[in-house]
A and B are shown apart, each in its own frame.
Chain A
Amino acid sequence: MWNASRNSRAVATAIGQAADGATDSRHRQGMNEAYSRTTPISAQKPVPTGPPTSIELGPPLRYTGTRLRPGEIGQSGAMRPASSKPFRIYLQYIKGLMMSSTFDQIANIIAETCDIPRDTIKPESHAIDDLGIDSLDFLDIAFAIDKAFGIKMPLEKWTQEVNDGKATTEQYFVLKNLADRIDELVAAKNAGTGTGA
C-alpha cells in the first residue's frame, strides 16, 4: 500500500527528475559539458531526457510477507495455509477486489454522485442525517442505483410508508438497510415477481 510519508524521498526524486527534464535544454547542455570536464564519465549520473517512467519504491515498501520458509511446502507440494498477518490482509484485499457488495456499490455511487469522501460512507450511515444528502441528490442516486441494479426503487411507496408512520427512515436510508432493500428488489426481479414499484 502506498505510504506517502515513507516514500517522500522517492517522490521528491521523481519530481526532481521531471523538473530536470523540463529545464531549458541549452542550459542543461552547458551544465553537462561543464560537469563532464571535471568528472569521469563513469561517475556521471545519467542525464534525464524526459519524465520518469517509474517511481522507485524504497526498501520499506518491499513486501516480504509471502516469502516461504523451510517447511511451508509439505511433501504433497501444497502450500500450507498462510497465517502471517500481511498475507491475511493481502487475501482480504484480493477478496474485496473480486467481490463488490451491494453496500460497496451504493457507497461508490453516493461518493461519486454527491462528492462525498468514500471512506466517510459506512454501512451504519444514514443517507440524510449523517451524509446530508438532500432529496434532489437522492434522485441522482436513485437513478444510478436503478440503472446499476436493473431495478426501480419504489421511492414513492417508501416515502408514503414513512409519512404514514408504517416505517422509519432508518429502514430505507441507513445504507446497510438500503442495501438489503435493493437485494430484495433484485431477488424479486430475478424471481419474476416485479419490484413492487
Chain B
Amino acid sequence: MNLDYFQLIDRIVDLNIGERTITVEAQVPTTHTIFEGHFPGYPIMPGVLLTEAMAQSSGWLLLGVMKFERMPFLAMVKEAKMRGFVSPGDLLTIEAKIEHEGSGFAVTSAKVRVGKDLKCSADLTFRHIPFPHPDLRVHMDAMANKIGFPMQALSHD
C-alpha cells in the first residue's frame, strides 16, 4: 500500500473472470503521516481510504472483465459500512464481485476483512469509458504487472 500515490492494492490473490470475482491483499503501513492526524494516540485507517481500496479492487476486476479496453471510474458509493477499526500494520483481504454489467456502467459489491473479521463493505457503481489518454493505459499496464495481475485469466470468459 503506497498511500502517497494512492495505490491501495498490493497484490491480486485470485481473479475469476467467469465468476466475476476478485480477491486482493493490501498491507496497511505501520507508520504514515495520515495516522498522526487520524487520530493522535489512536491511529486508524480512514474509512474513505478503505472505500478507495474496495473501489480499486473492483476496478481491477472490471479492467479484467473488459480486457483492459476501457477504464472504470468510481461514480457512486452506496451502503458503505465501516464495521470495525483497521489499524496500522493490518493485512487487508478485499473481495469484490460484479453485481451488474450495464451499458457504460457496472455495479460491484466489495468487502474488506482483516483475518476473518469483516471490517467494511460497500456497493459501488462505476462508469467506464475507453482509455481517455495513452499514458493512463501505460500506467495501468505497469501497475497490473506490479500487483501480479494474471493476464492469462483474460483469455477465460
Residues in B whose Cβ lies below 8 Å from that of A143: 100, 102, 105, 107, 125
A157 touches B103 (CB 8 A): yes
Q: Does A43 contact B (CB under 8 A)?
A: no
A146 touches B100 (CB 8 A): yes
Stretch at the interface among A53-61, A89-97, A134-142, A168-176: A134-142
Q: Per-position contact with B for A124-163: 1 when CB-CB < 8 Å, else 0?
A: 0000000000001001101100110000111111010000
Categorize the interface residue count of chain B.
10 to 19
Q: Does A197 contact B (CB under 8 A)?
A: yes
B103 touches A154 (CB 8 A): yes
A-B contact count (CB 8 A): 36
Task: Determine the residue in chain B with the shortest Cβ distance to A142.
Answer: B102
Bound-state Cα–Cα, A158 to B101, Å: 17
Bound-state Cα–Cα, A155 to B104, Å: 7
Residues in A whose Cβ lies below 8 Å from that of B104: 155-156, 159
Residues in B whose Cβ lies below 8 Å from that of A146: 100, 102
The interface size of chain A toward B, counting residues with CB under 8 Å, comes to 15
Q: Does B75 contact A (CB under 8 A)?
A: yes
B102 touches A136 (CB 8 A): no
Residues in B whose Cβ lies below 8 Å from that of A152: 101-103
Task: Determine the residue in chain A with the shortest Cβ distance to B105.
Answer: A139
A147 touches B100 (CB 8 A): yes
Query: Which chain B residues numbered 77 to 133 have a C-beta less than 8 Å away from chain A?
Result: 100-105, 107, 125, 127
B105 touches A142 (CB 8 A): yes
In this complex, the member of A139, A147, A154, A159 whose beta carbon has the largest number of chain B beta carbons within 10 angstroms is A139
B103 touches A153 (CB 8 A): yes
> How far, in Å, is B30 (CB) from chain A's closest CB?
38
> How far, in Å, is B144 (CB) from chain A's closest CB?
25
9 shortest A-B CB distances, which residue pairs?
A155-B103, A156-B104, A156-B103, A154-B103, A197-B103, A139-B105, A155-B104, A142-B102, A146-B102
Write 5 A-B pairs (CB below 8 A) sorted by A numbering.
A139-B76, A139-B127, A143-B125, A147-B100, A156-B104
Name 19 extra pairs, CB < 8 A, besides A139-B102, A143-B100. Answer: A136-B76, A139-B75, A140-B76, A140-B125, A142-B103, A142-B105, A143-B105, A143-B107, A143-B125, A147-B100, A152-B101, A153-B102, A153-B103, A154-B103, A155-B105, A156-B103, A156-B104, A159-B104, A197-B103
Residues of B whose CB lies within 8 Å of any CB of A are 75-76, 100-105, 107, 125, 127
